[in-house]
Amino acid sequence: MNAADYYGLDELRKACSGFVQCCINVDTVCALLASAERYIQYKCTKSLVQKVLEFVDEHHSNEVLNLGSFTLLPQHVVRLILVRDELRADEFTKFQAALMWSKKYCDNNSNITLKETIGNFLEYIQFHKIPANVLMREVHPLGLVPYNIIMTALAYQTQQA
């Protein structure tokens, strides 16, 4: 697709683009994003990444975040997904995805702690939207989210009640 664009072969570029867009589904999203990493400097690749992100945003956010292949994405791609306002995933699923990715990363990089790794993603999770009982049963006991973030989320929820 990028070569067709580079050489000005518009019909071939359109055909390639159409084919790749037909291939965007839950099972291919992570592979497409990981592969696009190598060619991100090209306009066509940027367009493809945008289409993949829109697919994730609009249709299958929670599903994609729960994929095992999500843990294989580069950190900045995970961040790119989690930071999106258009992402229609619930916040606990976002936390679980960040946790799953962080655990995998720490398995491969023993010089960094899980708390330090997941800390890179906490600002993209709106903890006040996670039900209080889930925060206290599932998130807080892990000891990965600073106490002030948990308390702020709980305080927000009590003010809204």
pLDDT > 70: percent of the chain: 88
Cα 18 to Cα 15: distance, rounded to the nearest angstrom = 5
pLDDT of residue 4 exceeding 60, the answer is no
Closest by CA to 30, choosing from 76, 78, 62, 86, is 78
Cα 90 to Cα 88: distance, rounded to the nearest angstrom = 7
Cα 142 to Cα 135: distance, rounded to the nearest angstrom = 10
Which residue type does 100 have? Answer: M
Half-sphere exposure of 26 (CA within 13 A, CB side): 11
Per-residue pLDDT at 42? 66
pLDDT of residue 9 exceeding 80, the answer is no
pLDDT of residue 12 exceeding 70, the answer is no
Cα 5 to Cα 2: distance, rounded to the nearest angstrom = 5
**Mean pLDDT, rounded, for 35-40:** 78
- Residues of 95-118 as b/e, b for ≥16 C-beta within 10 angstroms? bbbbbbbbebbbeeeeeeebeebb
Half-sphere exposure of 28 (CA within 13 A, CB side): 13
**Mean pLDDT, rounded, for 132-149:** 98
Per-residue pLDDT at 24? 86
pLDDT of residue 3 exceeding 70, the answer is no
Choice among 31-35, 45-49, 77-81, 108-112 with the minimum mean pLDDT: 45-49
Per-residue pLDDT at 16? 63
Q: Sign of the CA dihedral 56, 60, 66, 67?
A: negative
pLDDT of residue 51 exceeding 70, the answer is yes
Per-residue pLDDT at 11? 77
Per-residue pLDDT at 46? 82
Six-digit token pair at 159?
């003010």
Per-residue pLDDT at 115? 98
